[in-house]
Structure 1
Amino acid sequence: MTHDWQFDVPTAGSKRLPPDARYMEALSSQGYGFEVAIADLVDNSIDAGAKDVVIHFLRDGDQLVSLLVVDDGKGMDEAALDIAMTVGGRRDYAADALGMFGTGLKSASLSHASAVTVVSTTKRTRTAGRRWVMERAVSSFDCDIVEPEYAQKLIDRYDSGRPIEWQGTVVRWDGVKDFPKHGGGGQTDRYLHRTINKLGLHLGLHLHRFLAREDFNITIAVEDVRTGTIYMNFGVEPLNPFGYPVPGHPEYPRKFTASLPSVGAVTLDAHVWTPKSNLDEYKAVGSGMERQGFYFYRNNRLVQAGGWNNFRQPEQHLSLARVAVNLPDRPGDAFRLTVKKAGVEASPEFTSALEEASTPAGDVFLDYLNAAEGVYRDARKRSGTTRKPVLPPGEGLDPAVRETIEDELPTIPHEEPIALRWQRLDNELFFDVDRDDRTIVLNQHYRTAILGGRSGGANDAPLLKSLMYVLLHQVFEKEYSGSREKDNLQLWQSILVSAARAELDRVADDG
């Protein structure tokens, strides 16, 4: 008896089935973060040979209106521009190119803007422009041709070395979803401060090898289109995740070699960071649990910052361990890069090879992990104190504060974190302890006074919430509260209610 399902499926010809126009909508739902999307555009600038890239926020008074990424790369003629604006447009990528799939410009842009315009000029061709408008893109694949006069006007805005002189490209986002809808009350300034800080850190980290060169610069600027006032104008600094002044272990960094049958030898450049570092190069990547592990590079571009890729679980005592890995030119199925270039999927072949990875002297990769762990533990011992593990902080507390707590205190593994949230309570209470949901509840009635009239958010009032976590985390680590602890809770409740009411009176007097 034969089983036909075991053999190749026979076919009878083929039929062309082009994608529905709604594919554009799916393309714009790739989950691009804002910083990741901008980095994708800068990758295109680097591939075009740009020496200077300007990320330009345009505002009209309190309202943000557009975001532009401008470069002095080789530019594109109309044929190249059509390919660039075609979804999955076919072009030959250089061996050292950062682009891969032909979708980054469109998906990164339309994930965050209702329209994207690309205008470009070369030394030998006239300025040309194309524009995708999301509202129409989801019903057809018709891409607008930008009026040549406007295209030239946009290029001229950035000529005379700002940065375009003879050639270059401008990518313009309109209808940016993240921009504040109403810029009054300082919302725009707060948004710009927060966003530009995160953007600078992200670009500085992921493109640090390029920024370390003398002939490549990224500038972030903010301009008021009505007055021409420049609010910000600064260069992005490289943040080398291996840029410690002194290594944490005298025998590191060391190079290990992992042999993968499908791609050959892969070098693991293993580092141990200096304990208790406050440098941005160390702290720019998430928490201590997130920043440990592998740092994968593709053509000198950091595409994954931290993580063990199923080799092992992150642990606090490995927070000083970082391993630089340059991906092979032809990674095959051993390493798969996500479309957003924000992570690497490593095959079981890689994780198995790590078990046998070694130095020329015969030291194995496990020796490195033990060394990194030993440096962390010795630093704790030298501090003169052994801190008791605590339940980790969770939602409601600013990520930077959570990171500091997790750096300073060992956390109890495999436990739900303590969340903090605002909720309506009796006005005689400032806080409540919800053991079942593992949540510190703060009285919504006092929120406006605590925030000084500012609008709140999920991670607002970081100072107050940090103090509440420090006061109350031990309550959740016990099954019940004893008489002394109950008395302390009542004491804190009385003092905090009194202080909160004093804040309310100040707000009323100021009003």
Structure 2
Amino acid sequence: METVECTPSPTCLAESLRSVGYSMETAIADIIDNSISAQATAIDIFHDFLDEEPVLAILDNGHGMNRGELIEAMRPGGHGPLDARQAHDLGRFGLGLKTASFSQCRKLTVISRRNGMEPVGACWDLDRLHGAWQLSLLEPDDIQNTPFSQYTPSTCGTLVIWEKLDRITANKSSKKSYKDLFLEQMASSASHIGLVFHRFIEKEYDCHKVSFRINKIPVTPLDPYFSQHDSTQKLQQEDISLHGSTIAVKPYIIPHYSKLDGSARDALQKMGGANASQGVYVYRNNRLLARGGWLKLKSCKKEAYSLARVSIDIPNCHDDLWNLDIKKSSVSLPELVRAEIDTILERILERSIRTYTSKGQKLAEKKLALWVRLQGNKGASYALDRSHPLLDAFSRTLDDESRKRFDGILRLIEKGIPWEAIYNDRMGNNIEHMTPHSDDNRCEHEQSLIAMLRRQGVPEDKIRQISTALDIRCEQDK
């Protein structure tokens, strides 16, 4: 049998590698994986505009590389998925540095330094491949002339530099400038890093600690479980054995939104809101791979599940079983553990429903809600509370005929609630918890309501409760 060498075209293959599907956030996270695997304890991201073009650099203080190690690291597919890896290694396919970088830029430069050695550098420029995988090795003068060269590690570490960033685009209707889009992506990357690597930042997790900064501003961790909050319910961890390794499953019930302070609410918003962020969080060596959703064990996200979170820790020797993708951003649940994990999820979801329903009922009682929840044989429904002091006081100002018309209007309001639209907006975290109406005449309307309550003899303490419940701030003087 005759064989022939079929070397892929460097230009075609490189362009194909650019379309794997990385976003700016996931691409940066893939570079950070290499830094953490190199035992870095400090990672800095720098970005700037040179001649109106964005440039980005990622610097770590890991153990660095010598010349041979750098060449191997720059080789596409240098360390494959079938190779044995150290327990702390966050790598997968041996393509991350190249595919993540090429997904965002056309020029990749890496400068690295091992302890006691001179820095070494190498560069891939997709515009200069010319049909051959010819890696450019940098001379000392080349290193000095590279953007962000002032951050070249003085002792040990690695500096990754992206130039010719040509994947910053927007939809046709966007009026944002190229610069604004890039800065938005960097802001989004800060939140992504804070969530994906939150265990490396927070003290309570058992892994080596890493500090992250973007243009010298510290990255804040985003803990999806609010594990330091007094109201978080930390349930019993359950371990599942798979092929001689252990999968750790830890359920949480996060606090109801009403119990979160301003900073915690901001953190929840950055994670997409309670509904969007409910579900399973899969970690590999403390690095978050997949977040939210129920791994196809549940058909959809539900409001009553919004407080449920489950962390699942998997070892890096089972990547094939979990179908870990090249971006390390999605996994599939192995059939061998599906039933056990489904049983755990059923228990946590029952707990979430009880907590959510109980809290909702307490809030309704506490806040003199205008709406009441009615439980019937076919499910729950909602109606305006005719005995609410505000509605009752207004009703008593009307004659019998007008009171009937008023009740008819209330029934039309109850009947016309757009349940499906509200549900869709709620699930998409697209609800603004403020009145959509103008504040121009707000005080006039509110003072009129307070005056009406007083005319009807409603006690002052009850009026204060109504004002708090309905966010009435312009009370009329007595």
TM-score (norm 1): 0.64
1:328 to 292, 311, 315: 315
CA distance in 1: counterparts of 2:50 and 2:144, whole angstroms = 22
Amino acid at match of 2:94: G
Higher helix share: 2
CA distance in 2: counterparts of 1:23 and 1:152, whole angstroms = 30
Name 2:333's counterpart in structure 1. Answer: 346
Report if the CA contact (8 A) 2:246-2:314 is conserved.
Answer: no
Report if the CA contact (8 A) 1:205-1:284 is conserved.
Answer: no
Amino acid at match of 1:197: A
Report if the CA contact (8 A) 1:24-1:138 is conserved.
Answer: no
Report if the CA contact (8 A) 1:114-1:174 is conserved.
Answer: yes
Distance 1:186 1:318, change over 3 A: closer
1:253 to 213, 229, 235: 235
Q: What does 1:150-299 align with in structure 2 at a 5 Å threshold?
A: 150-152=142-144, 154=146, 157-158=150-151, 164-178=153-167, 187=177, 190-191=180-181, 193-213=183-203, 216-221=210-215, 233-246=216-229, 252-258=234-240, 260=242, 262=243, 265-276=246-257, 277=260, 279-299=265-285
What do residues 211-267 of structure 1 show as CA deviations (whole Å, max 9, x unaligned)?
22595211111xxxxxxxxxxx311111111224546575x422234455x456533
CA distance in 1: counterparts of 2:358 and 2:140, whole angstroms = 66
Report if the CA contact (8 A) 1:333-1:347 is conserved.
Answer: no
Per the TM alignment, residue 318 of structure 1 is displaced from its structure 2 partner at its CA by 0.8
CA distance in 1: counterparts of 2:32 and 2:22, whole angstroms = 14
CA distance in 1: counterparts of 2:429 and 2:249, whole angstroms = 27
1:54 to 39, 44, 50: 44
Per the TM alignment, residue 325 of structure 1 is displaced from its structure 2 partner at its CA by 0.8
Per the TM alignment, residue 302 of structure 1 is displaced from its structure 2 partner at its CA by 0.8
Distance 1:55 1:394, change over 3 A: farther
Where does structure 2 lack aligned partners over 5 or more consecutive residues? 365-370, 374-381, 383-416, 438-478
Name 1:369's counterpart in structure 2. Answer: 349
CA distance in 2: counterparts of 1:29 and 1:180, whole angstroms = 14
Distance 1:339 1:370, change over 3 A: same
Report if the CA contact (8 A) 2:168-2:182 is conserved.
Answer: no
Report if the CA contact (8 A) 2:253-2:352 is conserved.
Answer: yes
Name 1:415's counterpart in structure 2. Answer: none
What do residues 49-73 of structure 1 show as CA deviations (whole Å, max 9, x unaligned)?
2222111112247x24311111222
CA distance in 1: counterparts of 2:237 and 2:138, whole angstroms = 52
TM-score (norm 2): 0.68
Per the TM alignment, residue 139 of structure 1 is displaced from its structure 2 partner at its CA by 3.4
Amino acid at match of 2:126: M
Distance 1:93 1:316, change over 3 A: same
What do residues 119-166 of structure 1 show as CA deviations (whole Å, max 9, x unaligned)?
11222432221111123448332222223322256586115xxxx331
Where does structure 1 lack aligned partners over 5 or more consecutive residues? 1-11, 222-232, 358-364, 409-462, 469-511
State the secondary structure of the residue aligned to 1:303.
Answer: strand
Q: Aligned pair count?
A: 369
State the secondary structure of the residue aligned to 1:254.
Answer: coil
Report if the CA contact (8 A) 1:393-1:402 is conserved.
Answer: no
Distance 1:342 1:382, change over 3 A: same
Name 1:310's counterpart in structure 2. Answer: 296
Amino acid at match of 1:270: P
CA distance in 1: counterparts of 2:97 and 2:29, whole angstroms = 10
State the secondary structure of the residue aligned to 2:71.
Answer: helix
Report if the CA contact (8 A) 1:207-1:238 is conserved.
Answer: yes
Name 1:126's counterpart in structure 2. Answer: 118
Q: Whose RCO is larger (CA < 8 A, sep 6+)?
A: 2
Report if the CA contact (8 A) 1:116-1:132 is conserved.
Answer: yes
Report if the CA contact (8 A) 2:276-2:428 is conserved.
Answer: no
Amino acid at match of 2:252: H
State the secondary structure of the residue aligned to 1:378.
Answer: helix
Give the number of the structure whose alpha-carbon radius of gyration is greater: 2
Report if the CA contact (8 A) 2:57-2:161 is conserved.
Answer: yes
Per the TM alignment, residue 20 of structure 1 is displaced from its structure 2 partner at its CA by 3.1
